[in-house]
Amino acid sequence: MRHSPQYIWQQPDWPAFRYNAEHLLSVLAEARRAQGVLLGKAQAIGLAALPAAENEVWVSEAIATSAIEGERLNLDAVRSSVARRLGMQNPPSGPVNRNVEGLLDAMGDASRHWERPLTRERLFGWQAALFPTGYSSIRQVKVGGYRDDAIAVQSGPEGHEKIHYEAPPQEAIENEMARFLTWFQESRDGMEGLIRAGVAHLWFETLHPFEDGNGRVGRAIIDMALAQDNGQPTRLIGISRQLAQVRDEYYRYLEQAQKGDMDITEWLEWFIRQYHAACTESTAILDRSLQKAGYWNLHPGTPLSEAQRKVINVMLDAGPQGFEGGMSTKKYVSLAKVSPATASRDLGGLLRAGLVVTTGQGKSTRYWINLAGWQPVRDAQGAPIKEHP
């Protein structure tokens, strides 16, 4: 394998990362303000609505960190497992998936046990948990240990791959990872926490120590670094979800940093901005959780079937006007797995109970959550929504 002198680990002063601290002051201040709003609101709402928000963030994080690698997880399996782990009442049922359980084990250990040292054995456990069968798709991979061969990050069809980055040789990984783990432990005191998380992720991804699973383990390291920075194991900050939304940028900034010199200011600025965006989105999730809790408090004694409750929760999870086009009888049939007649009867019951409001008429009737701001004021024809007490 060819080795370009442009790779950062080949620089003579590797791994003495440099960055312009003064340049990062403003973006750090903005990110910390967003973090303060989020954590302050989380503390203010208490334990009632917090588990629902953590549940939503953790589910999206698990889905996102796998999606970045091109892997699609079973959503029902993720929701069910996360709800059980958070001790939520009446967790949704779903299939038990070993890959999902392993990923959540690794993610949970990283954020929940943030006070424990990060060791090679702990990293081995995280990586092994991602591949419970020892296979990635149909390919056997080495688990529970560093890679035995050279590795490159590449894309494109087989036979026409484009190499984006080549990691250090296998024989250097043991010593390189020992140096990284020592730094990770010693840097907990005295280093700005968001900068430390950004450096840790770049450093680990540059080493790419495993045959597979480096991205997911690397993002678990972010989770651990952020938990250490916050001094608590909350799963409210969805950094993987944010990185998935800007996946191409994420790869581009990583690649640029890995091919540059030891000045990583640009990478850190970008990373901190993503943290800011993640905090802002999580604050919106908290707000929605409060609204959802308030919604159910308005209807404490309303008898609902399992299908009705499921559909209402799907609509609530989508957020204000987030359920595109509103709920229809046809969509209800698909979501609840019931007959059209049952769907019409269920929706009518929700309307009479005041849980939903409608727009349109006949086949164009659409149902919306009955909360202020959660539905269009008027339908497509300009008619006001029809509310029922």
pLDDT of residue 199 exceeding 70, the answer is yes
Out of 235, 258, 289, a domain closes at 289
Confidence of residue 5 (pLDDT cuts 50, 70, 90): low
For residue 30 the two structure tokens come to: 């903005």
pLDDT greater at residue 297 or residue 157: 297
For residue 122 the two structure tokens come to: 């702990």
Shared domain for 17 and 79, answered yes or no, is yes
Shared domain for 26 and 108, answered yes or no, is yes
pLDDT of res. 320 = 76
pLDDT of res. 377 = 58
pLDDT of res. 244 = 96
Q: Is residue 375 part of a domain?
A: no
Average pLDDT across the chain, whole number: 89
Out of 262, 289, 316, a domain closes at 289
| Contact (Cβ atoms closer than 8 angstroms) between residue 183 and residue 117 | no
The number of residues making up the chain comes to 389
Shared domain for 131 and 236, answered yes or no, is yes
Convert the pLDDT of each residue in 75-124 to its tens digit: 889 989 998 888 877 777 788 899 999 999 999 999 999 999 999 999 99
Shared domain for 329 and 282, answered yes or no, is no
Q: Which of 27-36, 213-222, 293-302, 318-327 has the lowest mean pLDDT?
A: 318-327
| Contact (Cβ atoms closer than 8 angstroms) between residue 267 and residue 202 | yes
| Contact (Cβ atoms closer than 8 angstroms) between residue 79 and residue 59 | yes
Shared domain for 258 and 343, answered yes or no, is no
Shared domain for 285 and 328, answered yes or no, is no
Cα four-point dihedral sign 146, 148, 150, 153: negative
pLDDT of residue 383 exceeding 70, the answer is no
| Amino acid letter for position 139 | R
- To the nearest whole percent, how much of the chain has pLDDT over 70? 93
pLDDT of residue 293 exceeding 80, the answer is no
Residue 344 dihedral angles phi and psi, to the nearest 5°: -65, -40
Distance of alpha carbon 318 from alpha carbon 316, whole angstroms: 5
Q: What does the H/E/C string look like for the chain? A: CCCCCCCHHHCCCCCCCECCHHHHHHHHHHHHHHHHHHHHHHHHHCCCCHHHHHHHHHHHHHHHHHHCCCCCCCHHHHHHHHHHHCCCCCCCCCCCCHHHHHHHHHHHHHHHCCCCCCCHHHHHHHHHHHCCCCEECCEECCCCCCCCCCCEEEECCCCCCEEEEECCCHHHHHHHHHHHHHHHHHCCCCCCHHHHHHHHHHHHHHHCCCCCCHHHHHHHHHHHHHHHHHCCCCCCCCHHHHHHHCHHHHHHHHHHHHCCCCECHHHHHHHHHHHHHHHHHHHHHHHHHHHHHHHHHHCCCCCCCHHHHHHHHHHHHHCCCCCCCCECHHHHHHHHCCCHHHHHHHHHHHHHCCCEEEECCHHHCEEEECCCCCCCCECCCCCECECCC
Shared domain for 41 and 131, answered yes or no, is yes
Convert the pLDDT of each residue in 119-154 to its tens digit: 999 999 999 999 999 998 888 999 999 999 999 888
Distance of alpha carbon 72 from alpha carbon 62, whole angstroms: 10
Which residues have CB under 8 Å from 156's CB, separation 6+? 162
Confidence of residue 22 (pLDDT cuts 50, 70, 90): very high
Shared domain for 253 and 346, answered yes or no, is no
pLDDT of res. 49 = 65
User: N- to C-terminal Cα distance for the chain?
Assistant: 71
| Contact (Cβ atoms closer than 8 angstroms) between residue 286 and residue 53 | yes
Distance of alpha carbon 295 from alpha carbon 354, whole angstroms: 11
- To the nearest whole percent, how much of the chain has pLDDT over 90? 65
pLDDT greater at residue 197 or residue 300: 197
pLDDT of residue 2 exceeding 50, the answer is no
pLDDT greater at residue 262 or residue 378: 262
pLDDT of residue 278 exceeding 80, the answer is yes
Confidence of residue 1 (pLDDT cuts 50, 70, 90): very low
Q: Is residue 1 part of a domain?
A: no
Number of domains in the chain: 2
Distance of alpha carbon 306 from alpha carbon 279, whole angstroms: 33
Shared domain for 69 and 18, answered yes or no, is yes
CATH of the domain at 166: 1.10.3290.10
pLDDT of residue 4 exceeding 50, the answer is no
CATH of the domain at 311: 1.10.10.10
Distance of alpha carbon 102 from alpha carbon 125, whole angstroms: 10
Q: Is residue 263 part of a domain?
A: yes
- Put residue 59 in one of left, alpha, beta given phi > 0 → left and psi -120 to 50 → alpha: alpha
Convert the pLDDT of each residue in 236-255 to its tens digit: 899 999 999 999 999 999 99
State the residue range of the domain holding 327. 301-369
Shared domain for 98 and 155, answered yes or no, is yes
Confidence of residue 387 (pLDDT cuts 50, 70, 90): very low
Average pLDDT for 33-61: 84
| Contact (Cβ atoms closer than 8 angstroms) between residue 77 and residue 96 | yes
Angle, CA 47 vertex, CA 236 and CA 229 arms, to 5°: 35
pLDDT of residue 292 exceeding 70, the answer is yes
Angle, CA 254 vertex, CA 253 and CA 257 arms, to 5°: 85
Q: Is residue 295 part of a domain?
A: no
Out of 225, 254, 289, a domain closes at 289
Shared domain for 307 and 284, answered yes or no, is no
